[in-house]
């Protein structure tokens, strides 16, 4: 991002600032005063705290300018470029639209119930072999993160890869109409956020909003094995490409080899090219296939795709192996959780050989609503005492899984802890872990199992 204050004022049709500030340079944007670098525009958002309270701190840290909500008439900074707007978040969106038009990159938008962050990162890694690429930072995938990502993209960005999350209808529609993607990707449809939508059909409808902003000559890439997407894709007039496990897809794996550290596969498109991703789990192949389909739209050679995937670094706490203090191998997947994701990672986890025990630590899967007890209990079919010797469960809703597992497991191997007893869980867990053991830790971010991981 690179603006003069006067350009921001003009783009937003805001009241003029003092002439002496008109040519001041703005080189970035943030809504967090703790992240201010000199030259940034500060956006005071309304949350649990009024962001205007942090404007003095932003100025002290070197902010070049600030938005200011017009109905806030008190404590307006003096002798500083204050850009008056009706609403700072709306103004950030309007400025993002102006900047996106100005730098005019190709845009790839990614959503899905599982795998969207990994897929976004894979796409960016591959395209960076040939283009100047910017991408959604971490999981900044909502109405604040989207304009933030756009406005902090370098001026020479050729491809912008944007992740779009949601927890209500209309959210992705709003974001895609700002982004106007050239390529739209849906990784899969699962049960994530079913609390807010009620059925997988409604989740599919909400994910399909991503094509509402798709350019007329754009491409829609989706999992062709998902009937809910197959049916809805028929109404999309743009070019369509599919990935998946079956031969009905445009791209699919024809051979797979997997171990604890990496997954290798060959596709139907290039039988002489082996793709390697440094991640456990055959389910990650489909994230890679989605990324490969995007790369094909940008004419990246298969050899370059393979080279990029070999070097791919996944976002922290997504199927990441870490060695514990007692020498145990810990599979950290504590960023988020839903039934599909848990079953996928369990399927891969039990295939990893070990001379010790396999131990799982699972936390509540949040936002499952009225379906929660049944969906938690339904995980019992994927948990076998012959493969997983110790089970630790933490939360409220996951008590349903503990009850479903009682016929399979003895009291000494099945452990349940309600919210608030994480320290007890940790104590009991440390008592059973030994050097050769494998430990899986997975739960929704709100369960804070990263604290258990840190103490191991």
DSSP secondary structure string, 33-47?
GGG--TTEEE---BS
Q: What is the mean pLDDT of residues 166-195?
A: 90
Q: Is residue 95 included in any domain, yes or no?
A: no
**181 shares a domain with 285:** yes
Record the tokens describing residue 349, joined without a space: 């986890």
**126 shares a domain with 65:** no
Does 114 belong to an annotated binding site?
A: yes
239 Rama class: left (phi>0) / alpha (psi -120 to 50) / beta? beta
pLDDT, position 196: 67
pLDDT in tens, 204-242: 999 999 999 999 999 999 999 999 999 999 999 999 999
What angle is formed at CA 133 by the lines to CA 182 and CA 333, rounded to 5 degrees?
Answer: 95
Q: Is residue 339 included in any domain, yes or no?
A: yes
pLDDT in tens, 326-352: 999 999 988 788 898 899 999 999 999
Phi, psi of 322 (to 5 degrees): -135, 140
Inter-residue contact 51 to 29 (CB < 8 Å): no
Q: Is residue 420 included in any domain, yes or no?
A: yes
**351 shares a domain with 237:** no
pLDDT in tens, 397-455: 999 999 999 999 999 999 999 999 999 999 999 999 999 999 999 999 899 999 999 99
Distance CA 67, CA 24 (A): 15
Q: What percent of the chain has pLDDT over 90?
A: 88
**264 shares a domain with 374:** no
Question: Taken in order 184, 189, 192, 194, is the CA torsion positive or negative?
Answer: positive
**276 shares a domain with 141:** yes
Does 263 belong to an annotated binding site?
A: no
pLDDT, position 179: 98
Does 117 belong to an annotated binding site?
A: yes
- More confident position, 317 or 311: 311
Domain region containing 355: 320-455
CATH number at residue 175: 3.40.1190.10
**257 shares a domain with 148:** yes
**210 shares a domain with 128:** yes
**247 shares a domain with 142:** yes
**265 shares a domain with 131:** yes
**400 shares a domain with 372:** yes
Positions of E strands within 27-79: 28-30, 40-42, 65-69
pLDDT in tens, 64-120: 999 999 999 999 999 999 999 999 999 999 999 999 999 999 999 999 988 999 999
Q: Is residue 248 included in any domain, yes or no?
A: yes
Q: What is the mean pLDDT of residues 307-314?
A: 93
Domain boundary at 32, 52, 87, which?
A: 87
CATH number at residue 11: 3.40.1390.10
Q: For residue 332, give every residue at least 6 positions away whose Cβ sits within 8 Å of its Cβ, in sequence order, or none.
A: 316, 317, 319, 320, 321, 322, 441, 450, 453
pLDDT, position 316: 63
Is the pTM value of this prediction over 0.85?
yes
Residue 50 pLDDT more than 90? yes
Q: Is residue 224 included in any domain, yes or no?
A: yes
Query: Where residue 317 falls among pLDDT bands split at 50, 70, 90?
Result: low
Q: Is residue 96 included in any domain, yes or no?
A: no
The neighbour count for residue 351, using CB atoms within 10 Å, is: 14
Query: Where residue 245 falls among pLDDT bands split at 50, 70, 90?
Result: very high
Domain boundary at 248, 279, 310, which?
A: 310
What angle is formed at CA 193 by the lines to CA 192 and CA 198, rounded to 5 degrees?
Answer: 110
Q: Please state the domain count of the chain.
A: 3
Query: Where residue 258 falls among pLDDT bands split at 50, 70, 90?
Result: confident
Q: Is residue 315 included in any domain, yes or no?
A: no
Inter-residue contact 257 to 89 (CB < 8 Å): no
Q: Is residue 100 included in any domain, yes or no?
A: no
Domain boundary at 26, 53, 87, which?
A: 87
Does 115 belong to an annotated binding site?
A: yes
**324 shares a domain with 262:** no
Mean pLDDT of the chain: 95
What angle is formed at CA 70 by the lines to CA 69 and CA 75, rounded to 5 degrees?
Answer: 75
Helix axes 302-310, 284-297, angle to 10 degrees: 140
pLDDT, position 167: 84
Does 118 belong to an annotated binding site?
A: yes
Does 125 belong to an annotated binding site?
A: no
pLDDT, position 191: 73
**291 shares a domain with 151:** yes
């Amino acid at each position: 991002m690179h603006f003069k204050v006067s350009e921001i004022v003009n783009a937003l049709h805001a009241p003029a600032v003092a002439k002496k500030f008109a040519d001041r340079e703005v080189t970035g944007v943030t809504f967090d005063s703790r992240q201010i670098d000199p030259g940034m525009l500060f956006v005071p958002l309304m949350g649990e705290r009024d962001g205007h309270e942090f404007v003095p701190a932003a100025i002290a840290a070197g902010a070049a300018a600030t938005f200011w909500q017009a109905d806030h008439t008190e404590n307006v900074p003096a002798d500083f470029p204050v850009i008056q707007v009706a609403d700072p978040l709306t103004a950030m969106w309007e400025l993002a639209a102006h900047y996106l038009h100005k730098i005019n990159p190709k845009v790839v938008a990614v959503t899905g119930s599982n795998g969207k962050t990994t897929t976004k990162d894979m796409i960016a890694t591959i395209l960076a072999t040939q283009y100047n690429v910017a991408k959604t930072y971490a999981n900044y995938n909502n109405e604040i993160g989207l304009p933030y990502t756009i406005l902090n993209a370098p001026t020479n960005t050729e491809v912008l890869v944007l992740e779009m999350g949601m927890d209500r209808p209309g959210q992705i529609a709003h974001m895609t109409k700002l982004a106007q993607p050239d390529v739209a990707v849906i990784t899969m449809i699962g049960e994530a956020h079913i609390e807010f939508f009620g059925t997988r059909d409604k989740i599919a409808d909400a994910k399909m909003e991503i094509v509402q902003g798709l350019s007329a000559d754009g491409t829609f890439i989706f999992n062709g094995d998902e009937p809910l997407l197959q049916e809805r894709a028929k109404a999309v007039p743009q070019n369509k490409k599919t990935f998946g496990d079956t031969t009905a897809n445009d791209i699919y794996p024809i051979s797979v080899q997997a171990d604890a550290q990496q997954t290798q596969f060959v596709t139907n498109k290039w039988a002489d090219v082996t793709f390697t991703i440094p991640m456990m789990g055959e389910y990650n192949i489909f994230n890679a296939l989605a990324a490969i389909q995007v790369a094909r739209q940008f004419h990246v050679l298969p050899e370059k795709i393979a080279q990029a995937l070999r070097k791919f670094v996944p976002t922290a706490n997504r199927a990441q192996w870490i060695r514990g203090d007692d020498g145990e191998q810990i599979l950290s997947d504590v960023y988020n959780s839903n039934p599909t994701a848990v079953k996928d990672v369990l399927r891969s986890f039990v295939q990893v050989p070990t001379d010790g025990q396999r131990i799982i630590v699972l936390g509540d899967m949040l936002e499952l609503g009225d379906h929660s007890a049944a969906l938690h209990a339904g995980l019992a079919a994927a948990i076998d005492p012959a493969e997983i010797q110790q089970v630790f469960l933490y939360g409220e809703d996951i008590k349903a899984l503990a009850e479903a597992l009682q016929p399979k497991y003895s009291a000494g191997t099945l452990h349940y802890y309600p919210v608030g007893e994480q320290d007890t869980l940790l104590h009991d867990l440390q008592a059973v872990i030994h050097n050769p053991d494998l430990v899986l830790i997975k739960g929704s971010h709100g369960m804070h199992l990263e604290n258990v991981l840190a103490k191991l």
